[in-house]
Structure 1
Amino acid sequence: MTPGPHLVPTRRRALDDLAGTAARLVLVTAPAGGGLSTFLRAYAEAADATHRLLGLSWEDAPGSALAGADPGGGDLVVLEDAHHADPSSVQALVSAARAADGPRVVLGWRVPGGADPAQDLLFDSVRAAADEVVPLAALSAEDVAALAEQRGVVLPASQVDRLLRHTGGRVRHVVELLDDVPASDWTAPWFALPAPATAARAVRAALGELDDTARSLVQAVAVLEAADRHARAVPVEDAGAVADLDATTAAIGHAVRSGLLVSLDEHDAWARLRDPVVRREVLDDLGPVRRSELHHRAAEVVADPAVALRHRWFAHPRPDDALADQLDALAAQRAGQGAWSAAADLLVLASQASADREARADRLVRGVDALVGAGEVPRASRYLPELESLRETPLRNAVLGYLAVVRGRPAEAESRLGRAWELVNPRREAGTASLVAQRYVLHHLARCRPRDLVTWADRAMELVDPAAPTAVEAAAVRGLGVAPTEGIDVALDGYRALMERVPEGPVAQRVTMASGWLHLAADDPDRAREELESAVPTDFLGGSLRISLWARGWLARVQFQAGDWDEAMRTASAGLELAQRSGMSLLVPLLAWTRTQVLALRGDWEAAEQSLRTGDAVSRDYELMRVPAALARAAYSEARADYPAVVRALAPLTQPWARDWVEQPGYWPWADVHANALVLVGRQDEADAFLARHEQVAREHGHMSATARLAYARGRWYGVRGDLDAARACFQEAIALLEPLPLRYDRARVHFAFGQTLRRAGRRAEADAVITAARDAYLALGAATYVARCDRELAAGGVNVVRGHREFDDLTPQEEAVAGLVAQGRSNKEVAAELFLSVKTVQFHLTRVYAKLGVRSRAELAARRSR
Structure 2
Amino acid sequence: MFVREQELARVQRACDASEIAIVVRGPRGSGRSTFVREAVERLPRAFDVRANPTESSWPFAGISSLLYAIDDERWRHLALSLGSAPDLEVVVVAHRILTLLHEHDAPATVLLVDDADLLDPRSRAVVGFLARRLAGTGLRLVLLVESVPPELGGLDEVVLGPLDARRTRALVGHLAPARHHPAVLDVVAHRSGGSPADAVDLLAGLTPAQAAGSAPLELPLRPGRVEHVVRRFAQLPPAQAALVERLALAPRTHADDLGGGDELEVVDELVAAGWVARDGAWLSLTREPVRSAVFHSTSARRRREHHRRAVEHVSDPYASDWHASFVDPGPRAAEALRRAALGLLAEGSPDVAFEYVERSLLLAQPGARAADHLLVVAAAYFYRGHLEIARRYVDIAESVEEASPHSRLVVASLRVRIEYVATQSLLTALAERALELHGASAPDESVLLLALLATYSTERWELVRAAEYLARMDALLGVAHEPAHTVAESAAILFDAMSSARARSRSTAVAVQVGPNPSSTTALMTRARALTYAERYDEARDLFRTLLASPAAVDPLWVVTTRLYDADNDRLAGDLRAATATVAALVEQDELPHVHRPYRLFHELWYFHETGRPDRARACEDELLDISRGSRNPAISARVDAYLGARALHAGDLDEAARALMRCRMVSAGPPGPHLYRCDADLVEVLVRTGNTAAARTIVDDLARRSAAASSRWSALALARCRALLAPDDEAVRAFEDAAVMFGPRDSDYELARTLSAFAARLDAMGAGERAERVRDDAAATYRRIGLPWWAGDLVGADDDASLAPGAPAGPSPAGPGSSSPGQPGARSSVAHSSGARSSAARSSGAGASDARSSDLVAALSDAERDVVELVVAGLRNREIAARLFLSVRAVESRLTAIYRKVGVRSRAQLVSLLPHP
Fold agreement, TM-score > 0.5 = yes
Match of 2:765 in 1: 760
Match of 2:794 in 1: none
Unaligned runs of 5+ in 2: 68-96, 791-822, 843-852, 870-877, 879-886, 902-918
Measure, in 2, the Cα distance between the counterparts of 1:298 and 1:461: 52
Match of 1:170 in 2: 195
8 A contact 1:715–1:727 mirrored in 2: yes
Match of 1:95 in 2: 132
Task: Give the deviation of 1:164 after TM superposition.
Answer: 1.7
Measure, in 2, the Cα distance between the counterparts of 1:92 and 1:101: 14
Match of 1:495 in 2: 511
2:142 to 93, 103, 106: 106
Task: Give the deviation of 1:138 after TM superposition.
Answer: 1.4
Q: Secondary structure of 2:892's match? A: helix
Match of 1:225 in 2: 251
Counterpart code for 1:414: T
Q: Does 1:612 align with 2:621?
A: yes
Measure, in 1, the Cα distance between the counterparts of 2:900 and 2:485: 75
Counterpart code for 1:41: R
Q: Does 1:239 align with 2:244?
A: no
Match of 1:126 in 2: 155
Match of 1:263 in 2: 278
Task: Give the deviation of 1:417 after TM superposition.
Answer: 1.9
8 A contact 2:220–2:288 mirrored in 1: no
Q: Secondary structure of 1:788's match? A: coil
Q: Secondary structure of 2:597's match? A: helix
1:663 to 640, 663, 673: 673
Task: Give the deviation of 1:191 after TM superposition.
Answer: 3.0
Match of 1:79 in 2: 113
Counterpart code for 1:11: R
Task: Give the deviation of 1:725 after TM superposition.
Answer: 0.8
Q: Secondary structure of 2:427's match? A: helix
Task: Give the deviation of 1:399 after TM superposition.
Answer: 1.6
Measure, in 2, the Cα distance between the counterparts of 1:457 and 1:337: 35
1:280 to 288, 292, 297: 292
Q: CA RMSD in A?
A: 5.3
Task: Give the deviation of 1:126 after TM superposition.
Answer: 2.6
Structure-to-structure mapping, 1:470-619, within 5 angstroms: 479-484=493-498, 485=500, 491=507, 493-496=509-512, 498-499=513-514, 502-503=515-516, 510=522, 513-514=525-526, 517-518=529-530, 532=544, 544-557=555-568, 561-563=575-577, 567-573=581-587, 578-580=592-594, 584=595, 587-601=596-610, 604-619=613-628
Match of 1:843 in 2: 891
Q: Does 1:787 align with 2:826?
A: yes
Measure, in 1, the Cα distance between the counterparts of 2:505 and 2:117: 64
8 A contact 2:164–2:194 mirrored in 1: yes
Deviation larger for 429-438 or 193-202 = 193-202
Task: Give the deviation of 1:632 after TM superposition.
Answer: 2.4
Residues 385-436 of structure 1 deviation map (CA, whole Å, 9 limit, x = unaligned): 656655596443652464145324899722222222222364x544544454
Counterpart code for 2:200: V
Match of 1:857 in 2: none
Residues 111-170 of structure 1 deviation map (CA, whole Å, 9 limit, x = unaligned): x5xxxxxx477777334xx6xx46566166577556765776554544443332121332
Q: Secondary structure of 1:34's match? A: coil
Q: Does 1:440 align with 2:440?
A: no
8 A contact 1:758–1:766 mirrored in 2: yes
Residues 797-855 of structure 1 deviation map (CA, whole Å, 9 limit, x = unaligned): 8636999xx9996449x979x99xxxxxxxx9xxxxxxxxxx975432336789999xx
Q: Does 1:48 align with 2:44?
A: yes
What TM-score results when the alignment is normalised by the length of structure 1? Answer: 0.72
Task: Give the deviation of 1:592 after TM superposition.
Answer: 0.2
CA pair 706-291 structure 1, distance change in 2 beyond 3 A: farther
Deviation larger for 75-84 or 513-522 = 513-522
CA pair 125-269 structure 1, distance change in 2 beyond 3 A: farther
CA pair 699-325 structure 1, distance change in 2 beyond 3 A: same
Measure, in 1, the Cα distance between the counterparts of 2:353 and 2:272: 37
Higher-Rg structure is: 2
Measure, in 1, the Cα distance between the counterparts of 2:344 and 2:275: 33
Structure-to-structure mapping, 1:111-510, within 5 angstroms: 119=148, 125-127=154-156, 133=158, 135=160, 138=163, 154-155=179-180, 157-178=182-203, 181=206, 183-189=208-214, 190-192=216-218, 197=223, 200-211=226-237, 214-215=240-241, 217-218=243-244, 221-225=247-251, 238-241=254-257, 243-246=258-261, 248-264=263-279, 269-292=281-304, 309=321, 312-313=324-325, 316-320=328-332, 323=333, 357-360=367-370, 363-364=373-374, 367-368=377-378, 371-372=381-382, 375-382=385-392, 391=401, 394=405, 395-396=407-408, 399-400=411-412, 402-408=414-420, 413-424=427-438, 426=440, 429-448=442-461, 449=463, 451=467, 463-466=479-482, 468=483, 479-484=493-498, 485=500, 491=507, 493-496=509-512, 498-499=513-514, 502-503=515-516, 510=522
Counterpart code for 1:630: A
Task: Give the deviation of 1:794 after TM superposition.
Answer: 6.3
8 A contact 1:62–1:88 mirrored in 2: no
CA pair 318-20 structure 1, distance change in 2 beyond 3 A: same
Task: Give the deviation of 1:366 after TM superposition.
Answer: 5.8
CA pair 246-849 structure 1, distance change in 2 beyond 3 A: closer
8 A contact 1:51–1:78 mirrored in 2: yes
CA pair 52-343 structure 1, distance change in 2 beyond 3 A: closer
Counterpart code for 2:638: A
Residues 189-226 of structure 1 deviation map (CA, whole Å, 9 limit, x = unaligned): 41347657577344434444444554555455555536
Measure, in 1, the Cα distance between the counterparts of 2:347 and 2:205: 42
Measure, in 2, the Cα distance between the counterparts of 1:174 and 1:677: 54
Measure, in 1, the Cα distance between the counterparts of 2:294 and 2:241: 10
Measure, in 2, the Cα distance between the counterparts of 1:441 and 1:852: 55
Task: Give the deviation of 1:249 after TM superposition.
Answer: 3.6
8 A contact 2:184–2:213 mirrored in 1: no
Residues 360-381 of structure 1 deviation map (CA, whole Å, 9 limit, x = unaligned): 5555566546655654331244
Task: Give the deviation of 1:693 after TM superposition.
Answer: 5.5
Match of 2:74 in 1: none
Q: Secondary structure of 2:618's match? A: helix
Task: Give the deviation of 1:33 after TM superposition.
Answer: 1.3
8 A contact 2:239–2:266 mirrored in 1: yes
CA pair 328-44 structure 1, distance change in 2 beyond 3 A: closer
Measure, in 2, the Cα distance between the counterparts of 1:711 and 1:120: 72
8 A contact 2:32–2:144 mirrored in 1: yes
Counterpart code for 1:261: V
CA pair 141-562 structure 1, distance change in 2 beyond 3 A: closer
Measure, in 2, the Cα distance between the counterparts of 1:687 and 1:851: 30
Q: Secondary structure of 1:787's match? A: coil
Task: Give the deviation of 1:593 after TM superposition.
Answer: 0.4
Measure, in 1, the Cα distance between the counterparts of 2:350 and 2:213: 23
8 A contact 1:600–1:636 mirrored in 2: no
Match of 1:728 in 2: 736
Structure-to-structure mapping, 1:767-846, within 5 angstroms: 767-772=772-777, 774=779, 781=788, 783=790, 785-790=824-829, 799=839, 810-811=860-861, 842-846=890-894
8 A contact 1:712–1:731 mirrored in 2: yes
Task: Give the deviation of 1:672 after TM superposition.
Answer: 4.3
Measure, in 1, the Cα distance between the counterparts of 2:375 and 2:841: 71
CA pair 761-278 structure 1, distance change in 2 beyond 3 A: farther
Q: Secondary structure of 2:217's match? A: coil
Q: Secondary structure of 2:112's match? A: strand
Counterpart code for 2:154: S
Measure, in 1, the Cα distance between the counterparts of 2:680 and 2:309: 63
CA pair 177-303 structure 1, distance change in 2 beyond 3 A: closer
